[in-house]
Amino acid sequence: METFHDLNLKPEIVSALDKMGFVNPTPIQAKTIPHLLSESNDLIALAQTGTGKTAAFGIPVVQLIDVEESGIQSLVLCPTRELCIQIARDIENFASEIKGFKVLPVYGGASIVPQMKDLRSGVQMVVATPGRAVDLIKRKALKLDAIRYVVLDEADEMLNMGFKEDLDFILSETPEDRQTLLFSATMPQAIQQISKNYLHAPSEISAGQKNTGSANVSHEYYMVHARDRYKALKRFVDVHPKIYAIVFCRTRQETKDVAAHLMQDGYNADALHGDLSQAQRDQVMEAFRMGHLQLLVATDVAARGLDVNNLTHVINYNLPDDLEAYIHRSGRTGRAGRKGTSIAIVHTREVGRIRDLEKSVKQKFEHKRVPTGQEICQKQLFNLIDKVEQVEVNTDQIASFMEPIYQKLEYLSREELIQHFVSVEFNRFLSYYEEDEDINAELKSRRDRGDDQEKGRGRKKRDKNVPMVRLHVNVGKTSKLTPVSLIEMINKNSSKRGIEIGEIDILRNFTFFNIEKGFEKDLIKGMNKSVFKGEKLAVSVAKENPNDRGRNDGFGRSARSRKRRR
């Protein structure tokens, strides 16, 4: 098997890797490192989250940088503060035995003044979030004229987070003869466009197939009614006493609610979302990394950059709006050669999305039933017995206490003593699951499923007296917008609940939809800050009713008239 000693690396780098415990490169590292050390053309590297992409670009770039030269020679762009810090820390470790090598992380959420001062002191490599990089460039503090290597790490996620304009600006400020390295877990259309605009005849390397999940991760889904989603989460956690997992929610509010309920119910959990201060985020993430938390409830964006290698599970409390985000979620487990499981809690109308996910990750999802109370109690009981059996007993320390204990319990028989002992820890599970309600949902008949699908498309019967407003949004069939994903976006980006949704008309490049009058300003404000599949949304009130004059595109023109002019 190939080792890092076989990759023609500098002795200083090999020595640093030995100290880090790096022996054999991962598939993406084994392919990428030799390529970058021998080729100067641009590169697209595709690999799942957690497969060692940082070392794949970090090790060769560290070797290629000339520490005798002044000026920044390499810029790494990544989506979040946490990932920025993690990449810079890894780069420091790779270069720990190279005298004079300096790497600097720059990111938002921290004072820009010390970062400007550190840049003036001289560094060879900068790791940055796009927004802070733009600020520093405009202040003339981040100078890119000597850049030789640009790395776009988690490029797909940067586009999903709305950084396209920032990336365009940053890349336009770098020299034409730079070498650009694009690393991504998926290859959506927006990434292909970035590649077309800013990469020159790139080579492509992939570890596994494009847009697929890790082979170390198995995928399961549990079907329940929406009202029983939290009950299903609790049962799944209870049946896995040693679980160490991230629970992904769709919105900040849902994250807060689920985490609060878990903590109230006695689980070792906490929340990670955008409303936390940076100090609070750091505290929660460090507690989770150290294993002091068993469950971390998080949004997709908040969890970016959280580097934990030994997660047992990823739980999708709700499926993500963008199915490609599922690949990033599931890639949080099954790292460093370990096995992991990705769980989806779904309701009956989401079975179609499970099928889409199977095609996306190129793996079969196993439909499992939510465990019964009896199964949970049995699993918890045996876990308790295992803990008792394996506990370390210090006879010297407890010897002085044993005699009064023996006297106090001598009236109990052996069987009674064990029963009392087990019940101390076990009664709450027996009490909670006494009724043993079956919360598994079954697929309905074809006719019933059709009715549900109509409701999911926003065509459910509604009160005709409710006044409606017709809106226009700049995504349609070419962006793979569906009625379900549009409704999910409406629910996600509105601060109000119970909005009546009327007719949805998805055309090729844009969409019309009706919502209850009075909610349009709030929804437009929310959706205009959102992104769908890498494209920034633009929502406005439609100027004409297409039922009156053909299908209007929202800007006073009819789709029919445009077709005739073609």
- Strand, helix or coil for residue 12: helix
Q: Name the maximum alpha-carbon separation found in the chain.
A: 99
Inter-CA distances, 183 with 174, 236, 559, Å: 18, 34, 39
Predicted local distance difference test score (pLDDT) of residue 50: 67
- Residue 255 has which token pair? 């994250």
Predicted local distance difference test score (pLDDT) of residue 73: 96
Predicted local distance difference test score (pLDDT) of residue 460: 43
Inter-CA distances, 5 with 23, 24, 34, 64, 337, Å: 8, 9, 12, 17, 20
Q: Pick out the chain residues at pLDDT < 50.
A: 211, 445-462, 545-566
Predicted local distance difference test score (pLDDT) of residue 464: 54
* CA atoms of 12 and 34, how far apart (whole Å): 17
Tens-place pLDDT, residues 240-257: 989 999 999 988 889 999
- Strand, helix or coil for residue 68: coil
Predicted local distance difference test score (pLDDT) of residue 443: 64
Domain locations along the chain: 4-206, 217-372, 374-432, 457-565
Beta bridge partners of 315: 247, 343
Please, are residues 351 and 223 in contact by the beta-carbon 8 Å criterion? yes
Predicted local distance difference test score (pLDDT) of residue 458: 40
Beta bridge partners of 184: 46
* CA atoms of 480 and 512, how far apart (whole Å): 15
Predicted local distance difference test score (pLDDT) of residue 452: 44
CATH of segment(s) 217-372: 3.40.50.300
Predicted local distance difference test score (pLDDT) of residue 208: 57
Domains 217-372 and 457-565 alike in fold: no
* CA atoms of 168 and 484, how far apart (whole Å): 31
Report DSSP state, residue 206: E
CATH of segment(s) 4-206: 3.40.50.300
For 179, the enclosing helix (H) or strand (E) is: strand 179-184
* CA atoms of 481 and 46, how far apart (whole Å): 25
What is the CATH class of 457-565? alpha beta
User: Considering Cα of 250, then 252, then 256, then 259, what sign does the dihedral take?
Assistant: positive
- Residue 451 has which token pair? 């009715």
* CA atoms of 151 and 304, how far apart (whole Å): 17
Predicted local distance difference test score (pLDDT) of residue 151: 95
- Strand, helix or coil for residue 52: coil
Residue whose token pair is 């197939």 = 209
Tens-place pLDDT, residues 367-386: 999 998 888 888 888 877 88
